[in-house]
Structure 1
Amino acid sequence: MAKQSVHFFDKETTKELIKQACYLTKEIHIFKFLICSMTAGAFITFGALFSVLLASGINIPGYVRLLEGFGFSTGFFDV
């Protein structure tokens, strides 16, 4: 039995995604878009600061990278 390939982004799907993106950009007010983007940037900045604070005072490089990764990812989870 031959495997069928699954195409997640065929032409119809791509057209539908473009159509929905255009609709959403027309519907959202520019002020709301600006506030959302600034809030997302603030959350990512918070994650960067949190990663530095978590890793400060640790002398083992592997643990430093691990804690920095956990801290920085909290900013992305907030977004």
Structure 2
Amino acid sequence: MTPMTLHSYAPLYWLALGTFAVGTESFMIAAILPDIATDLSVSEQAAGQLVSVFALTYAASSPVLTDLTGNVGRPCC
């Protein structure tokens, strides 16, 4: 059995980076929420609810989309 090289973990590193980017995006939105509300001409409460609906939809659809696209053919090597 051969030891796993750093190169074999590359997809895992990219996945971790993507997860970090998506996760921090949710926290960064709080700082710009007043600007979003102003831009959309809605109250800050309504803008917060829009962000919450987006986050809940994202959380609920991610496992479903992962399951549906898990068997999509990929080019080899």
Instruction: Please report the TM-score for the alignment, with normalisation by the length of structure 2.
Output: 0.36
Structure whose CA Rg is larger: 1
Report the TM-score when normalising by structure 1: 0.36
| Higher RCO (C-alpha 8 Å, min separation 6) | 1
